[in-house]
Chain A
Amino acid sequence: MIEVRNLTKKYGSKTAVNNISFKVEKGEILGFLGPNGAGKSTTMNMLTGYISSTSGEVLIDGTDILEEPKKAKSKIGYLPEIPPLYVDMTVDAYLNFMYDLKKCKLPRKAHLKDICTRCMLQDVRHRIIKNLSKGYRQRVGLAQALINNPPVLILDEPTVGLDPSQIIEIRTLIKKLGKRHTVILSSHILPEIQAVCDRIIIINRGEVAADGTADEIARDITNEHKMVLRIEGLTHTADDKREIADALRAVSGVKYVRADMEREKGIYDYDVETDGKTDVRRDINKLCAEKGWNILMLQLSDLTLEDIFLKITMDDGLNKQNDGKDDSSKPKIAIKRTQNGKLKAVQEDAEEKADENAEEGSADSSENNGGEE
């Protein structure tokens, strides 16, 4: 439905979007994820023909947006970052204007009524847009994009400025829309993307950093599985630590073992990495039973979308700064992650493993998690 080939946008010497290619199939909901300034909006503006590309092409349903702009644009409904609303018009007048502008042939009254119902705008149809709250304006923007039932919907941060219940409503709406339309939506809110999108493209510094479902991306980024074990030895001394670590290393399928801090008196945590193919949990359990050790805790720490996002966007930056000094960059990542407890705090935990980061000592972040949404 949408095909983007080697799309590049340069502003003078600054490259905003660099050689992006992807395809979106019919009926797919694609999420665009990236930190601020990554080139999400620029890409969307190019997809919709608002700005041109420096090179590369955009095909909407096989129509090139720059060669046959009218035909291609008639297939797109676009909600820009700032909804293009004429604030001195009433909602009804504005939607009628957009209806005319898009040369919509559908029965006017029924179509507009249907859209207003879908976007929950029935109550405000006769009010002037100037007097509406941000959430309602966003919905008017969305309604405008839906006029003429375009097969492709491009939504730039559709839930910005909405309150939590509205966010959920809009998400449900987008999911519903995904059945009839091909949707691209951008966001920097990870759970949102996870909740709504079939596929995710992570953009960083104007380039596609990852493309696929959340699981696929996680697999690409790391093909190891990590877990944290807390094992109680017999003697409660540092000798235990060495012995246990060595024994764990001997288990087949284990790639790497690192003895961590002393969490309880004489009891240590072990970070275990496996090759990702074998499930080593049962073997470890048996091993401990044989040796008389007690497993006090076993926690899988597969990457969440959030970890992936941070890994992609921050590793990249750190590596560039440190010129590949991996050892020195590791603690920095750890710090970033805890800082990110803040970022996490504003969002609901979509993944059950969100408490993973609590390990880094940010118990308060998980508290906030519950409080916000």
Chain B
Amino acid sequence: MSAIYRREMGAFFTSGIAYVFLTVFWLVSGIFFFTGTIMSNTTNVANMFSSMFFVVLCLIPVLTMKLLSEEKKNKTDQGLLTAPISLWDIVLGKYFAALTLYIIAESIVFVYAFILNYLGEIAWTPLLGNYFAMLFLGAAFIAVGLFVSSLTENQMASAVVSLVLLFVLYLSEMLVSGFANGNWFKKGIYKIVTSVAFYSRYIEFTRGVFSLTSVLFFISVAFLFNFFTVKVLEKRRWS
């Protein structure tokens, strides 16, 4: 696992994806930080964090798009699958590499925190809570992106499909919001969709509620999709 993790980290930087990802992430989050916090003369970072949901949603597919699709396209998966390692080693090595880069990117909020600390009083607890919420959100999204990447040989298809998938997950709540007061069937759908919703869970954190259920939810999603990815690789071998 560590060999794959290190290679993948190296590949992020040699292929330039890391630079694009970090630049865009820091640029856009900087804009949100400036407009949401500095310009409104507040040390409340909730605004910034709620906007960051969309940055994460749009950028994670860039991070995950080539992780497995490129291996398949260049036939390098033959090297990995015939090496004395398990499929979990392969998937988790790649997963944690992407997660590491994501953590580097989102840790920029500490820089913002120090800026705020210099300008005024800052509430550290909600900031840390939000930081970890974003981390778990990303962990779940990366697993979804990695899963999509395992389905195709085409990087672009992988990126677009993950983006659409994440977007649908986000929009699903709004689609069913009218069902909240309907009959039992509509209520049932509403309940199911909202229970697997990402956005409202995340937004909860920015309002200062550190919900362990949601943390558990994100971790479960991450685990589940990594499990799916392993199954996809396994199925390819058996087909």
| Interface residues, chain A, with chain B CB atoms under 8 Å away | 11, 45, 48-52, 69-71, 73-74, 76, 78, 80, 82, 84-89, 93, 97-98, 100-103, 144
Contacts and interface: CB of A to CB of B under 8 A. Distances in A.
B3 interface: yes
Given A71-B84, A78-B82, A84 B76 contact: yes
Contacts of B15: 88
B120 interface: no
A-B residue pairs, 7 tightest by C-beta:
A84-B79, A100-B3, A74-B84, A73-B84, A84-B76, A48-B82, A101-B3
- Contact-residue size bin, chain B (C-beta under 8 Å from the other chain): 20 to 34
Interface string B10-52: 1100110000000000000000000000000000000000000
Given A51-B237, A80-B78, A102-B84, 11 more contacts: A50-B82, A52-B237, A76-B82, A78-B82, A80-B79, A80-B82, A84-B75, A85-B76, A100-B3, A100-B6, A103-B84
A52 B10 CA distance: 31
Contact of A70 (B77, B86, B237): B86
Given A52-B237, A88-B11, A144 B79 contact: yes
Nearest to B89: A101
20 contacts: A48-B82, A50-B237, A52-B238, A69-B86, A73-B83, A78-B78, A80-B78, A82-B75, A84-B75, A84-B79, A86-B11, A86-B74, A88-B14, A89-B11, A93-B10, A97-B3, A100-B3, A101-B3, A102-B83, A103-B84
B7 A86 contact: yes
Q: Most chain-A CB neighbours within 10 Å: which of B4, B7, B10?
A: B7
Contacts of B83: 73, 98, 101-102
Nearest to B14: A88
A49 B83 CA distance: 9
A226 to B, nearest CB: 44
Contacts of A88: 11, 14-15
B78 to A, nearest CB: 5
Contacts of B239: 11
B124 to A, nearest CB: 40
Contacts of B75: 80, 82, 84
Contacts of A50: 78, 81-82, 237
Interface string B205-239: 00000000000000000000000000000000111
A267 to B, nearest CB: 59
Nearest to B76: A84
Contact of B76 (A48, A76, A86): A86
A73 B237 CA distance: 15
B2 interface: yes
A184 to B, nearest CB: 14
A153 to B, nearest CB: 12
Contacts of A87: 74
A303 B157 CA distance: 54
Nearest to A65: B82
Contacts of A45: 78
Contacts of A78: 78-79, 82
Contacts of A103: 84-85
Contacts of B101: none
B24 to A, nearest CB: 21
A144 B80 CA distance: 12
A128 to B, nearest CB: 9
Given A74-B84, A78-B82, A100 B74 contact: no
Given A86-B11, A88-B15, A89-B10, A101 B78 contact: no
A85 B73 CA distance: 12
Contacts of A80: 75, 78-79, 82
A103 to B, nearest CB: 7
Contacts of A52: 237-238
B74 to A, nearest CB: 7
Q: Most chain-A CB neighbours within 10 Å: which of B76, B83, B237?
A: B83
Contacts of A101: 3-4, 79-80, 83, 85
B126 to A, nearest CB: 41
Contacts of B80: 84, 101
A98 B6 contact: no
A89 B14 contact: yes
A11 B81 CA distance: 20
A160 B2 CA distance: 33
Nearest to A47: B82
A296 B4 CA distance: 70
Contacts of A51: 237-238
Contact of A97 (B7, B84, B238): B7
B121 to A, nearest CB: 48
A212 B161 CA distance: 52
Nearest to B15: A88
A98 B85 CA distance: 12
Q: Most chain-A CB neighbours within 10 Å: which of B3, B6, B82, B238?
A: B82
Contacts of A85: 74, 76
Contacts of A93: 10
B133 to A, nearest CB: 34
Interface string B165-189: 0000000000000000000000000
